[in-house]
């Protein structure tokens, strides 16, 4: 007898009752087929207890479905239900038949096969079997308790204690070589010199940038001034071109304007005009007027209105005046020209002092 078989503690009770899954029952069936006597004895005891457990169930009337299945299993084609008090129970017979069918499927002959013949009488009555053996009753009670309580699952967990990581000690470098100390001092002095040189270069660079910005501002201001001068010169050049166009036009006439006021006694002007070239007036030594006054030229004519504005004159710092205007119908019947001082922007009608006058 193999007393040290590792399968002795297996769930033979569950196998006898048919409570194991196919995956859990397969290794037990395979082991029984090897002929282990100890395990066969345990399984036989479990089968006996299962049969006794089934026989100890209280009697109850089976359902019609159970009767039909039992009749089909034993070969009877029809089961006639009798109208009698139902105290009978087919549960022990079904449990016994299922156990022996399971043993036949395993394919071994220990214990010896038992043939059970179930007669089908007109009325089937069963009596509850009570085994007087106290050991069997104790075994049945143990099986019932074993099936009733869940089996705990034991999981072995190994926990390793944390090992503290040693902290590295700080490394202290001690320089005791005088030569190394001297070299370090030389390096420090050289570093200080380089830092001072860098600061001086940064300062010089900032000064150069400031000088460059200032020079750039001056150049920009000079360029702006030159652009203004160029615009003025362009305007003057355009005026001179118009003046030459007036002088070179056909039928050009000339009128001298003389001073008629004591304030402009040293002033003089000349008017050149034609129908095609327009009007050109050049004045000299005009007195400087206040800011709220300007020089305005008037054309005297035969038609109506008799006085028409010829435009505002431009005066430079030397008192030289200039006026050029395109051809106008007032020049066709003009009889004379006059220059007066008017408010800034000129007037529609002459209201200021007459300074210069010339008749055609």
Q: What is the pLDDT of residues 14-36, one digit of tens each?
A: 888 888 888 888 888 888 888 88
Predicted model pTM: 0.37
- Say how far apart CA 92 and CA 128 lie, in whole Å: 9
Report the chain's mean pLDDT, rounded to a whole number: 77
User: What value does the mean pLDDT take over residues 296-308?
Assistant: 91
Mean pLDDT across 172-181: 72
**Token pair for residue 302?**
């035969």
pLDDT for res 298: 94
**Cβ(252)–Cβ(274) under 8 Å?**
yes
The pLDDT, as a whole number, for residue 290 is 87
Residue 136 predicted with pLDDT over 90: no
User: pLDDT value at position 126?
Assistant: 42
- Out of 132-136, 137-141, 192-196, 285-289, pick the least confident: 132-136
Which residue, among 93, 47, 102, 45, has the nearest Cα to 67 in the 3D structure? 93
Where is pLDDT greater, at 345 or 142? 345
Q: What percent of the chain has pLDDT above 70?
A: 71
For 247-273, how does the pLDDT look when each residue is reduced to its tens digit (9 = 90+)?
777 778 889 999 998 888 889 899 988
pLDDT at res. 118: 39
Residues with Cβ within 8 Å of 67's Cβ and at least 6 positions away in sequence, in order, are 79, 81, 90
Q: Is 115:103 a contact under the CB 8 Å cutoff?
A: no
What span, in angstroms and rounded, lies between the C-alpha atoms of 320 and 313? 10
Instruction: Report residue 153's pLDDT band, with 50, 70 and 90 as the boundaries.
Output: low
Given a cut of 90, is residue 207 above it in pLDDT? Answer: yes
């Amino acid at each position: 007898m193999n007393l040290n078989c590792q399968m002795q503690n297996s769930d033979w009770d569950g196998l006898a009752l048919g409570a194991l899954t196919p995956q859990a029952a397969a290794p037990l069936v395979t082991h029984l087929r090897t002929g282990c006597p100890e395990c066969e004895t345990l399984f036989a005891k479990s089968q006996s207890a299962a049969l006794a457990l089934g026989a100890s169930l209280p009697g109850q009337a089976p359902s019609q479905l159970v009767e039909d299945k039992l009749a089909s299993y034993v070969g009877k084609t029809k089961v006639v239900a009798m109208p009698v008090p139902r105290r009978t129970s087919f549960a022990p017979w079904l449990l016994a038949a299922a156990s022996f069918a399971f043993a036949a499927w395993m394919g071994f002959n220990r214990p010896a096969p038992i043939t059970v013949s179930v007669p089908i009488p007109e009325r089937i009555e069963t009596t509850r079997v009570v085994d007087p053996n106290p050991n069997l009753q104790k075994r049945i009670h143990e099986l019932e308790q074993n099936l009733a309580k869940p089996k705990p699952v034991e999981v072995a967990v190994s926990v390793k204690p944390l090992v503290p990581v040693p902290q590295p000690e700080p490394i202290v470098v001690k320089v005791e070589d005088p030569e190394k100390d001297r070299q370090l001092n030389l390096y420090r002095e050289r570093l200080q010199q380089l830092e001072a040189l860098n600061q001086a270069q940064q300062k010089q660079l900032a000064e150069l940038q400031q000088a460059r910005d200032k020079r750039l501002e001056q150049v920009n201001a000079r360029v702006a001034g030159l652009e203004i001068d160029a615009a003025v010169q362009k305007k003057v050049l355009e005026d001179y071109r118009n003046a030459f166009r007036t002088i070179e036009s056909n039928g050009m006439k000339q009128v001298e304007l003389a001073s008629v006021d004591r304030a402009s006694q040293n002033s003089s002007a000349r008017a050149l005009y034609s129908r095609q070239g327009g009007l050109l007036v050049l004045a000299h030594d005009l007195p400087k007027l206040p800011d709220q006054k300007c020089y305005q030229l008037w054309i005297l004519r035969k038609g109506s209105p008799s006085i028409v504005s010829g435009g505002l004159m431009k005066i430079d710092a030397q008192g030289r005046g200039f006026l050029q205007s395109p051809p106008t119908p007032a020049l066709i019947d003009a009889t004379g020209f006059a220059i007066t001082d008017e408010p800034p922007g000129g007037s529609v009608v002459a209201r200021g002092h007459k300074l210069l006058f010339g008749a055609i």
